[in-house]
Amino acid sequence: MEYKKTRQGYVDGLKELAKTNDQILVLDADVAKATQTFEFEMEYPDRFFNCGVQEQNMLSVAAGLALEGYTPFASTFGVFATCRGGDQMRNSIAYPKLNVKVGATHCGLTTGGDGASHQANEDIAIVRSFPNFTILVPGDYEEAKQATIAAASHEGPVYLRFGRDSYPLVPQVHGAFQIGKAKLLQSGSDLTIITTGIMVSEGIKAARQLETLGLSIRLLHLPTIKPLDTEAVIAAAEATKGIITAEEHSVIGGLGEAVAGVVSENCPKPVLRIGMQDVFGESGQAQELMDKYGLRAQNIVEAGQRILTQFYSTANV
């Protein structure tokens, strides 16, 4: 299996955009080597602005550039953008609905060694609560590149979420990227697995495992968290007995709660959420942390089995 960085997809997308769109500007806050935007700087030095360690200023500067007609991509780590820069994300960008793109890398547990302070596991929750923001959480390098390109032609604030690590390439998600559209990877009638971001590969693995148990699995990938593809989610709820969501993010305020909200209001079915269980992470290698914090195919499989035993086995008697 081939592995690639989603943040590389970000900068490759930016470079692609810049070829034909001279309104694209890239800002960074002294983490250009990490976000990879230094590659953009090398090719387009006049359209790159290193704001130093000033996330708050960078985000409001981006708002100012957008007011003047530019399409700025403000780049930093997810924690710095959404927690340090939460006010600027809300009042400078979301509220006036400005055409600012926030490229956030080092999101989620797989940020690894830097530890909990740097692992944004609540960024989706924060940004989801701001009206006007579109949230894109691509699953691999290719989807990250596509999402970045799609963000530029979407008028309005977009939060792009990338990781730090290298992640498996998932050819199943490489079809046309459309903001707000889920990708139905396969139909099935027993359970639905809904993934976002890099959990797509774990979701696919889990589906294979559940299939060996004789179950029919529907597999839905949501690279857009907001606006949520409610139609696809309701269709999944209608077609199967229950849903397992999987995200590299807190179960509070992320994909799981978004799905649960739609399902409970339209077609109530059990929804079990795989993600960070309201705890901070810690330092470690990405892979061992995913094991320790339960972000694995096996955890999805167990949740699926729990849906069938807890909600259906007695009813069938």
Residues that bind other proteins (CB under 8 A): 46, 49, 51-52, 54, 56-57, 59-70, 72, 87-88, 91-92, 95-97
Which one, of 10, 166, 153, lies nearest residue 74 by Cα?
10
Decide whether 40 or 293 has the Cβ nearer to other proteins: 40
Sort strands 217-221 and 183-186 into parallel, antiparallel or unpaired.
antiparallel
d(CA 67, CA 75): 18
The kind and range of the H/E element at 271 are strand 271-276
Decide whether 62 or 182 has the Cβ nearer to other proteins: 62
| Token pair recorded at residue 66 | 């957008």
Instruction: Supply the minimum distance, in Å, between the C-beta of residue 234 and other proteins.
Output: 32
| Token pair recorded at residue 307 | 């849906």
Question: Among residues 16, 43, 55, 257, which one is catalytic?
Answer: 55
The kind and range of the H/E element at 61 are helix 55-67
| Token pair recorded at residue 134 | 């579109």
Decide whether 94 or 135 has the Cβ nearer to other proteins: 94
Instruction: Supply the minimum distance, in Å, between the C-beta of residue 34 and other proteins.
Output: 20
d(CA 155, CA 270): 36
Instruction: Supply the minimum distance, in Å, between the C-beta of residue 152 and other proteins.
Output: 17
Instruction: Supply the minimum distance, in Å, between the C-beta of residue 77 and other proteins.
Output: 17
Decide whether 92 or 105 has the Cβ nearer to other proteins: 92
The three-state DSSP-derived secondary structure of 165-215 is CEEECCHHHCCCCCCCCCEEEECCCCEEEEECHHHHHHHHHHHHHHHHCCC
The kind and range of the H/E element at 116 are none
Q: Does 238 participate in catalysis according to the annotation?
A: no
Decide whether 51 or 120 has the Cβ nearer to other proteins: 51
Longest Cα–Cα distance in the chain: 70
Instruction: Supply the minimum distance, in Å, between the C-beta of residue 151 and other proteins.
Output: 19
- Kindly list the catalytic residues: 55
